[in-house]
Structure 1
Amino acid sequence: MCLAIPGKVLKIEGNKGIVEVGNMKREVFMHLVPEACVNEYVLVHAGCAINMIDEEEAKITMNIFKELLENEVC
């Protein structure tokens, strides 16, 4: 199963952007969301921002991921 992860757009240059996901910053392709602006949130999948997401929903999703990782059983 593949998941898209929300991230905050920090910088956009052409078709690429820098997105903060948790404590990590990643370069992603932005061509699928040309309407995205700095300080907005996008869903990132396979190195591409694939959709816009509002800040509240992004934070809820990140908290769920954080909780899942904290309770992971190997």
Structure 2
Amino acid sequence: MRKGSVKEVLARIKYDPREKESDYYVVIEHRGAYGNVKRIPVETIELGHGYFFVGETQIPYHRILMVVRSDGEVVWRTRKLGS
């Protein structure tokens, strides 16, 4: 499952022609209350250096809890959740 940093995994999904980015989403810890999570389709994000962007919103990579394929397979999970 956990092969590389989350940025490397997302770059592979977004730029590898064998992958379909619409088949993936990220689960982030939404700022505010612990346990408040949000799902964001990978096709809607742009990768940056220390952050990724959803429109004008800048979100740090450390907020990503998981990268999940639409069939439910977790392809990357943060160590905070126990890999």
Question: What TM-score, normalized to structure 1?
Answer: 0.36
If each structure's strand is expressed as a fraction of its own residues, which one has the higher value?
1
Question: What TM-score, normalized to structure 2?
Answer: 0.33
